[in-house]
Structure 1
Amino acid sequence: RPDLVHLQYQAAAFGLAPAAMFLPAVLGRLGGYPVAVTFHDLRPPYLFPKAGRLRRLAVGMLYLSSAGAVATNGADLVRLQRVGFPGVRFRPPLAFIPIGSNVLPVPTEPEEVGTLRREVGAGPGERLIGHFGLMNWSKGVELVLAACRRLLDGGYRVRLVVIGGTAGRTDPTNLKYAEFIRREVGRLGLGDRTFWTGPLPADGVSRWLQAVDLLLLPYLDGASLRRGSLVAALVHGRPVVTTRPPDPRALRPLVAGEHLVTAEAQAEALAEAVRKVLDDPGLAARLGEAARRLADFFGWDAIARRHADFYRVCLEYGAW
């Protein structure tokens, strides 16, 4: 018999089905199993047509019926802190624990970096812009392509390396999106300037992250610590250009301009941000070093310790 059940909630991972919303109530209140929840996002499930407000209430119900909840970024933490229903005074414990990176840095010699750069055809003075992550509509890969086209037209000698780049499985539109991106590469005349690594093991991803000059990650909904590709780039100490989040708390404790560069989700704005980093080696070095200093914050040992403390609080709350 477990002392605690820990649910990892992400709406798309459950196919937007509402069943997960009832797990804490069923297991906790009826079965005597306290259920903690990590909210990887706060997207509501699908209930029925025109459910509207009921869908949003379902997320609040999942939190309030749990023995405790984890937010993976500061913006979600604030939203959960505001959850409440009339007449409901109790509030389960709430913690901020970031996700870790599934891609840890592997030692990579300069000779290995040189080999990878030659593999993509990069000559002396050429710069490699990397994009990493599963291919889906929220990643803004079309903005990466448009920004690269602007850089090339402006005289910058850049090549794009799409690291991984396979379509995500949680949304059936991902394959269509990947096909659209392939067509965009051709339409923009980037075929000879784009290198696709294809699926790679974690150590291969790590080496490519270290081989590119910067990562361009323009999430359409804004950067957030819920994004594993962003966390991977940071723990590798890479300069990152990404999109400005609607709520800056989504990046806390990161500081724009210190740990990464943010811009609007527009091709020219992103291209200008990339130019800023490429033209200033000192800035690129400072961004990488500041990101590397946060590696312990995203480290699995620290995350495990935070969870152990959180579980103790949840068990005390559940016993109450």
Structure 2
Amino acid sequence: MHVAVVFPDTKVEFDGIGDHSKRLARELVALGHAVTFVGRGASESPVAGARYVDGWPSGAVRDLAGVVRAIEEIRPDIVLLQYQPFAYGRRGFSPALPWLGRRIGRVCPGASFVVFMHETYVGHTSPATAVMAAYQAVQVKLLARSADLVLVNCALGMRRLRHHSRRIESVPVPSNIDRVSASRRTARLELGLDARARIMVLFGRVDATRVRLLRATLLRASGMDGTELVYIGKDRANVAALVDPLPLPAHLYIGADDRTVSLAMTAADLALAPFADGATGRRGSLAAHLEHGVTTLSTVAAGTDDFLKDIALSGGLCLVAPDADEVADAAETLLGDPQRRARGEESLAALAGELPSWRRTAEAVLHARPGGTEEGARPRASRRVAGVRSSGEG
């Protein structure tokens, strides 16, 4: 099977969807399939064994003629469009994008058109976003209707698009950090961390909403002897503003490589992953904590996926309301209860192989064509925790 992965910023290292594209391509290549990236600008393939072609020779991201020409030339079996509204036009306005599937169908009639909806459209938080949401919603629904298969990564995407898609599956984002084989003791030794400390790990973006959720937690943790914080990410200033006034030892790994990130997660006793809008299947940082087997504290909201609630019932994930005091209460309880954390780790170990994975993601893409997966059938989810679900139209 030949899969064309279309995304204008595939080669940008710090872009989350670009990273998703590369990891998915690696899995497809490992399964024996051909992959061609259709990106923007001159570049080499970001993945060994895959090709790269420039689909935006004009440089204008709203100009899709080069993408159509590239598909006509390479003639893949599957065209996978990695979608996030702001990737294809300023303020998410790209009036030609909803018709891309039809244009591809005319020049490459045998190809299946798959759209992975990483995000759908902005929420209504101001008059400006209300206007953006209006036209983005129209665009994304038209795009979904034109696709042979729509993939979403969370319950919100499924809710917004299930009645606008012929076929739709929910495929949560897997961990974007490869797990290093090391014990907690070995990880701490390699990183120079205290073997006796209770270590909290915080990974990824720390914006204003997360600062508000975390402030009370870190304040309480600073009063618990032997508790330390490890932060992995790029928001040095925000994290420093949180911890500098506190008597809380903090270790900041800014721009760390994947091995260091994995070791830091492995070294932790508790992962802090609260989000104002709740835990969802689109959070790669949350997936990384779970994949590393760290008892994790996160938040639940209307959009939280059922498979995450199932993990919470099994004990590996603690979900509380997105309220600063509730997060702090739960963190204090977990930090003070090593048996509870150990049960969480045992629960996650029992789920090994059943969490969202790149293999399941690749199989979901290949499912666009009959016989595309190794077994010639739709990808299987042995338990609900895997988070791969499908739905027909309406």
Bin the TM-score by the shorter chain.
0.7 to 0.9
Q: Which runs of 5+ in 2 are unaligned?
A: 1-74, 373-394
| 1:35-75 CA-partner distances (Å, limit 9, x unpaired) | 21011122259x99835533322221121111210111234
The yes-or-no answer on 1:18 pairing with 2:96 is no
In structure 1, what is the Cα distance between the partners aligned to 2:282 and 2:265? 19
What corresponds to 1:318 in structure 2? Answer: none
Match 1:208 to one of 264, 270, 280: 264
Pick closer, same or farther for the CA change 1:143–1:263 going to 2, 3 Å.
Answer: same
- Give secondary structure in 1 for the equivalent of 2:204: strand
Structure 1 residues 221 and 51: CA distance shift in structure 2, 3 A: closer
Match of 2:229 in 1: 160
In structure 1, the partner of 2:187 is: 113
The residue that corresponds to 1:170 in the other structure is none
Name the structure 1 match of 2:335. Answer: 278
Matched residue, 1:185: 243
State the Cα distance separating 1:295 from its structure 2 match: 3.5
Q: Cα deviation per residue 1:133-192 (whole Å; 9 max; x = unaligned)?
A: 144456x14422431112334x454211102x115xxxxxxxxxx534433333x435x5
The partner residue of 1:312 within 351, 356, 370 is: 370
For normalisation by structure 1, the TM-score amounts to 0.78
The number of residue pairs the alignment matches comes to 289
Corresponding residue to 1:128 among 189, 193, 199: 199
Look up the SS of the partner of 1:95 in the other structure.
strand
| Residues 12, 296 of structure 1: alpha-carbon distance in 2 compared, 3 angstrom cutoff | farther
Partners of 2:129 and 2:174 in 1: how far apart? Answer: 35
| Matching residue of 2:344 | 287
Match of 2:146 among 65, 88, 91: 65
Superposed counterparts of 1:1-320, under 5 Å: 1-14=75-88, 16-19=91-94, 20-28=97-105, 32=109, 33-44=111-122, 50=131, 52-83=133-164, 91-116=165-190, 119-120=192-193, 122=194, 124=196, 126-137=197-208, 140-153=210-223, 155-163=224-232, 165-167=233-235, 179-186=237-244, 188-189=245-246, 193-249=249-305, 251-252=307-308, 254-258=310-314, 259-297=316-354, 298-312=356-370
Report if the CA contact (8 A) 1:150-1:268 is conserved. no
Q: CA deviation at 1:311?
A: 3.6
Shift of 1:111: 4.3
Q: Which has the higher contact order (CA 8 A, sep 6+)?
A: 1
The 8 Å contact of residues 74 and 251 in structure 1, kept in 2 or not, is answered as: no
1:74, 1:96 within 8 Å by CA — same for their partners in 2?
yes
User: Residues of 2 paired with 1:313 and 1:81: CA distance?
Assistant: 24
Given that residues 129 and 159 in structure 1 are in contact (C-alpha distance below 8 angstroms), is that contact kept between their aligned partners in structure 2?
Answer: yes
Cα distance change of structure 1 residues 5 and 253 upon mapping to structure 2, 3 Å threshold: farther
Percent identity reads: 24
CA gap of 1:111–1:54, structure 2 versus 1, over 3 A, is: closer
**Mean Cα deviation higher: 240-249 or 222-231:** 240-249
Measure the CA separation in 2 of the matches of 1:181 and 1:208.
Answer: 16
**Secondary structure, in 3 states, of the residue corresponding to 1:100?**
coil
CA 1:108/1:254 → structure 2, altered by over 3 Å: closer, same or farther? same
2 CA distance for matches of 1:26 and 1:137? 42
**Is the contact between residue 130 and residue 162 of structure 1 (CA under 8 Å) also seen in structure 2?**
yes
State the SS of the aligned residue for 1:256.
helix
Residues 320, 330 of structure 2: 8 Å contact kept:
yes
- Quote how far apart the aligned CAs of 1:194 are: 1.7
2 CA distance for matches of 1:179 and 1:152?
19
Give deviations 1:281-310, integer Å, cap 9, x for gaps: 232122222223334232323332333223
Shift of 1:274: 1.2
User: Per the alignment, in what secondary structure is the counterpart of residue 237 of structure 1?
Assistant: coil
Inter-partner Cα distance in structure 1 for 2:302 and 2:287: 19
SS class of match (1:230): helix
RMSD between aligned residues: 3.1
| Larger mean Cα displacement after TM superposition, 11-20 or 56-65 | 11-20
Assess if the C-alpha contact under 8 Å between 1:220 and 1:265 holds in 2. yes
Distance in 1 between the 2:148 and 2:200 partners?
Answer: 44
SS at 2:332's partner residue?
helix
Is the CA contact 2:222–2:246 (under 8 Å) kept in the aligned structure 1?
no
**SS of residue matched to 1:306:** helix
After superposition, the Cα gap between the structure-2 partners of 1:61 and 1:149, relative to the gap in structure 1 and judged at 3 Å, is: same
